[in-house]
Structure 1
């Protein structure tokens, strides 16, 4: 196994930082051999089967083209759930787990009705259902392929979450219920920010779930905030994941629409990535 580890480091070293390669080794051995980091250290003299080595070789080859490892493996972990992912959905990020944690600790009562807009893989909707239990959760998305993935994820994790197709920019065309909480992680990366992004994101993740036009970067937020004013119960909450560079603009947006108890929250890296407001 030590030779396999060295093979991975040699092949991926020219393409990724050392710390990232070490992370890949843990993920690869976990996925292919069901081994944790301690087992990797303790069983370093273990001889891999030809089948396992060829599987690892295939993963390494894909990583050299900068495909996200989550897409290569077809799955990732999110808030203690195993989530199927593919190029139809964004790969869940750690900061989104922080948003879920904030919601879970915000005093949501049993029986609450929750809507996740732009659900993608369904990770937010399912994590909230898994943690809060006695709530009713619905996820909507414009992408049918994303919804197929979300439905598979609900089955995979044995969670009762409803999923439906909807174009939130034209929300007046659909019938909606009233909700106690609405959450969304909509497209928010401006076109001008593309040059700062890694190739594995730009080349493989769905553009429609990532980018907005430079001239109207808050288009989804404004629409969703207006929608939420109409569809939230009085006292209901709206939660967003946001562009770290547009936090102040987002606060101003919610204030202008009459939201109260507005809070802009930083993530573990000190970036302004989460926002909440309450309907009076």
Structure 2
């Protein structure tokens, strides 16, 4: 064991927590410590509470110290460990895809609650890790899910996640700004596209702006609804009458995205807030 690293699970947890630099945010340091110990040593919260003994061999001691160092350099813990949790499930992640966020879990809830039919055809635009269609398919067996992304590397990750959870998703390598949606008779189109303007970059945490893929995050300042405009037009051509579209949005542009849906002949349009009270989703229905 490396010198100075304890062999008590509780003391080890405290060691990791106290050596992670999170600018005084102890809750964040604790959350990252739990993730690291569970991944590296299969030690969970109960083990730590009961202070079970652990065996930390020299190689894993070195790995633990490297993890702490990488976190302190700003790298997201999910990239370090190679997975991030979404809707209670670990998804493979790397620097080619965005780390799934809790707000997108609310988007899953919205789609499931508003669409009880088990035989829906669902298309996810800009799938990244594949967390949206894979989670929908796991939560509602019988759904037929499709997804696209313009990045071959992102699609590789999405396919790995689909294989991990044994769900059948048909993936397409497509740039939605240049091509249409390749599947017809859809019940639902969903997308969490890039929606952060470049001028907002300076306000982002280092873990986001320095490590996550910019092509999945940022849009031009002069055209903040670029992706929504293209996706809405493509979706209108492929959805069934009364089929629904769901967007995750930048809270500043809910009205603009709604107007975009109106221009593409959607109705029953609604801006929906997330659990923090911010405008986070826009949904609409295709006119008959």
Fold match by TM threshold 0.5: yes
1:186-205 to 2 correspondences below 5 Å: 186-205=193-212
Write out per-residue CA displacement over residues 95-120 of structure 1, whole angstroms, 9 at most, x where no aligned residue: 00100111011124222111000001
| Partner of residue 72 from structure 1, selected from 58, 73, 80 | 80
Q: 1:113 touches 1:137 (CA, 8 Å); kept in 2? A: yes
Q: 1:15 touches 1:64 (CA, 8 Å); kept in 2? A: no
Q: Which residue in the other structure is 1:234 paired with?
A: 241
Write out per-residue CA displacement over residues 8-43 of structure 1, whole angstroms, 9 at most, x where no aligned residue: 233224655211111111111111122221211212
| Partner of residue 49 from structure 2, selected from 41, 52, 57 | 41
Distance apart, 1:272 and its partner CA: 0.7
Distance apart, 1:7 and its partner CA: 2.8
SS at match of 1:168: coil
Q: Which residue in the other structure is 2:5 paired with?
A: none
Q: 1:82 touches 1:157 (CA, 8 Å); kept in 2? A: no
Q: 1:117 touches 1:183 (CA, 8 Å); kept in 2? A: yes
Write out per-residue CA displacement over residues 43-69 of structure 1, whole angstroms, 9 at most, x where no aligned residue: 255453333332221211110111000
Q: 1:81 touches 1:157 (CA, 8 Å); kept in 2? A: no
Higher deviation after alignment, 132-141 or 103-112 = 103-112
Q: Which residue in the other structure is 2:30 paired with?
A: 22
SS at match of 2:56: coil
2:156 matched to 1:154? no
1:214-253 to 2 correspondences below 5 Å: 214-253=221-260
Measure, in 2, the Cα distance between the counterparts of 1:240 and 1:18.
Answer: 33
Using the size of structure 1 for normalisation, the TM-score is 0.94
Q: 1:4 touches 1:53 (CA, 8 Å); kept in 2? A: no
Aligned residues: 279
Q: Which residue in the other structure is 2:127 paired with?
A: 119
Long gaps (5+) in structure 2:
1-7
2:142 matched to 1:142? no
Measure, in 2, the Cα distance between the counterparts of 1:88 and 1:9.
Answer: 28
SS at match of 2:262: helix
Measure, in 2, the Cα distance between the counterparts of 1:44 and 1:175.
Answer: 54
Higher deviation after alignment, 270-279 or 24-33 = 24-33
Measure, in 1, the Cα distance between the counterparts of 2:222 and 2:162.
Answer: 37
Residues 49 and 230 of structure 1: is their aligned pair in 2 closer, same or farther, counting only changes over 3 Å? same
Residues 233 and 87 of structure 1: is their aligned pair in 2 closer, same or farther, counting only changes over 3 Å? same
Measure, in 2, the Cα distance between the counterparts of 1:268 and 1:260.
Answer: 25
2:39 matched to 1:31? yes
2:246 matched to 1:258? no
Q: 2:190 touches 2:245 (CA, 8 Å); kept in 1? A: yes
Residues 230 and 167 of structure 1: is their aligned pair in 2 closer, same or farther, counting only changes over 3 Å? same
Which segments of structure 1 move beyond 6 Å, counting only runs of 4 or more?
A: none
